[in-house]
Structures are given as structure tokens and as C-alpha cells.
């Protein structure tokens, strides 16, 4: 596979060789991407992958106790790539992490690569739909709420983002994330579906561009927090994912990848 406007060598530096599933996440997947050449453009091009580690990581003793946590983070210019070992990825899915959940709910054209084993993850995405996600969504949202006014400038567009914060008095990008993630949370609890591609993208982009005041953002956030709590109390989703089925899915994928089944 090769990423747009990058050479094969550059792509290989970003993506793990043993990926079974790779797709765009972040602003591209949300339909809220603002190109960097525009005045308010501070978005990276985010890519997420799931990969299979070498067999020694699963069966050997050499790596026992090492610091490999199953996450590979790589950056190149505006590209930001994160990859998770299959075990780490499913562990995060079980916890309801909204960022990793997104990879299973993309538009077809936002997938870069889907192997047969990666397709199995997509086919089983409903296995990870549960009320457990509420706490994960809430934690992420509160993080965005704090960062909105407690600034930390990192990544490819750090300096440009800093100037926009100075202009508006708060981080409009974090504000947009906050409103989006809470709306996604409510939809997920109500319908058991994660709407990654946003039909409200025009409004979310307007927030990114500073067209909402800080007071309006906080007012909408408060409304969404109250709404999410109410929806959670009445939510009909399972309390937790089925751990036995999740465990079997991971084992089957790993064994089939290494042709270990008899």
C-alpha cells in the first residue's frame, strides 16, 4: 500500500509492514479536515493501523517483561501514524476507547488497506458496542474541555495553532473535538452506531475557525453532558462486551495469521 503524495519509502516509514487493517482517522475521517495552507488549517493527516507482532511476542520468552506495549507511533511532516498490536487494539476496544472504535466504522473510501483478517475485525465490530463506551467518551471529552483553555502546542502545526489560540482566547480545535465527541457519544448510546463521518461537519469546522464564542461552546457542552447522562441511564446496550467472544476473535486472528491451526 502507498499513501497519497508519498513515495513507497516514505509510506513504509509511517506504516507497519504487518498491518492487517489501516485507515484514515481524525479530521479526514470526520469530514472536518482543513488543509494546512488555509488560515485555520492545523490538522494532521491521521492514520491508524492494526498489526500482528512477530510470533516470538506471543509464544517466546525473550520479550517477557520488556517495555513493548504494542503501540507504534510515527510522524512525518503532516502525517501522524499510530499502530496497535492486535491484542492492544482489542483491549482498547473492550474499554470503549472512541479513537480506536472509529477505525471499525469508517466510510469505505477511508480505508487504506483491509486484509482478510482485518475484515474479520470489521465484521465483528458490534461485539464491542456496549455502555462501557460512555466512560471512555466522557473522559476524552473532559480532556478536551480542559485543553481548550490549558494550552499545549504539539505536532506539525503547533506554532500556527498557538497563534490561533492567541487570536480567539481558547483552543478552537479542542472545542470542535469536544462537541463532536459528545454528539458521537449520544448517538452511540442511542443507536449502537458510531457515526465517524460527520453530517454536522460544517458546524464543527465553523467551531474550529473560531466562529463560536467560548461561552457558546461551554453552553453546548453542558447541554450535551446532561443529555449523554440521561441517554446512558436509559441505554439498552449491553453493559460490557462479551469477553469470551473477544478473546476467541483475537486468538483466531493470530493463529490464522501464522497458520497455526490444524
> Distance between CA 188 and CA 134 in Å, rounded?
9
pLDDT of residue 40 exceeding 60 = yes
> Distance between CA 20 and CA 43 in Å, rounded?
26
> How high is the pLDDT of residue 62?
61
Higher pLDDT, 62 or 22: 22
pTM of the model: 0.90
Pairing of strands 79-85, 45-51: parallel
Q: How far is CA 92 from CA 98, 184, 205, 246, in A?
A: 9, 18, 28, 12
Taking CB atoms within 8 Å and a gap of at least 24, the contacts of 115-122 are 115/19, 115/20, 115/21, 117/20, 117/21, 117/52, 117/253, 117/256, 117/257, 118/19, 118/20, 118/21, 118/22, 118/50, 120/249, 120/252, 120/253, 121/20, 121/21, 121/50, 121/249, 121/253, 122/21
> How high is the pLDDT of residue 50?
97
Please give the CATH topology (third level) of the domain spanning 8-126+242-257: Beta Polymerase; domain 2 (3.30.460)
Tell me how long the chain is.
262
pLDDT of residue 64 exceeding 80 = no
> How high is the pLDDT of residue 254?
95
Helix, strand, or coil (residue 75): strand
The pLDDT tens digits for 129-162 are 999 999 999 999 998 888 887 766 555 556 777 7
SS3 content of the chain, % helix, strand, coil (to 5): 55, 10, 35
The pLDDT tens digits for 65-118 are 555 579 999 998 889 999 999 999 999 999 999 999 999 999 999 999 999 999
Average pLDDT over residues 187-204: 97
70-79, 122-131, 214-223, 236-245: least confidently modelled range:
70-79
CATH 3.30.460 boundaries in the chain:
8-126+242-257
Do 11 and 47 touch, CB atoms closer than 8 A? Answer: no
Amino acid at each position: 500500500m502507498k499513501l497519497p503524495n508519498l513515495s513507497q519509502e516514505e509510506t513504509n516509514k509511517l506504516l507497519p509492514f504487518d498491518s492487517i487493517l489501516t485507515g484514515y482517522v481524525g479530521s479526514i475521517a470526520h469530514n472536518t479536515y482543513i488543509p494546512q495552507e488555509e488560515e485555520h488549517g492545523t490538522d494532521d493527516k491521521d492514520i491508524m493501523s492494526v498489526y500482528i507482532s512477530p510470533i516470538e511476542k506471543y509464544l517466546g520468552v525473550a520479550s517477557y517483561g520488556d517495555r513493548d506495549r504494542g503501540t507504534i507511533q510515527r510522524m512525518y511532516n503532516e502525517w501522524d501514524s499510530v499502530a496497535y498490536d492486535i491484542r492492544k487494539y482489542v483491549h482498547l476496544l473492550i474499554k470503549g476507547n472512541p479513537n480506536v472504535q472509529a477505525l471499525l466504522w469508517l466510510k469505505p473510501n477511508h480505508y487504506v488497506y483491509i486484509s482478510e483478517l482485518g475484515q474479520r475485525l470489521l465484521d465483528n465490530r458490534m461485539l464491542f458496542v456496549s455502555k462501557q463506551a460512555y466512560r471512555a467518551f466522557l473522559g476524552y471529552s473532559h480532556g478536551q474541555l480542559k485543553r481548550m483553555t490549558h494550552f499545549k502546542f504539539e505536532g506539525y502545526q503547533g506554532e500556527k495553532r498557538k497563534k490561533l489560540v492567541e487570536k480567539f482566547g481558547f483552543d478552537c480545535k479542542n472545542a470542535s473535538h469536544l462537541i463532536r465527541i459528545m454528539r458521537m457519544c449520544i448517538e452511540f448510546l442511542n443507536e449502537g452506531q458510531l457515526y465517524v463521518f460527520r453530517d454536522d461537519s460544517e458546524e464543527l469546522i465553523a467551531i474550529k475557525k473560531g466562529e463560536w464564542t467560548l461561552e457558546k461552546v461551554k453552553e453546548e457542552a453542558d447541554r450535551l453532558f446532561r443529555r449523554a447522562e440521561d441517554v446512558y441511564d436509559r441505554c439498552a446496550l449491553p453493559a460490557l462486551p462479551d469477553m469470551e467472544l473477544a478473546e476467541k476473535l483475537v486468538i483466531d486472528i493470530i493463529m490464522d495469521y501464522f497458520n497455526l491451526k490444524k
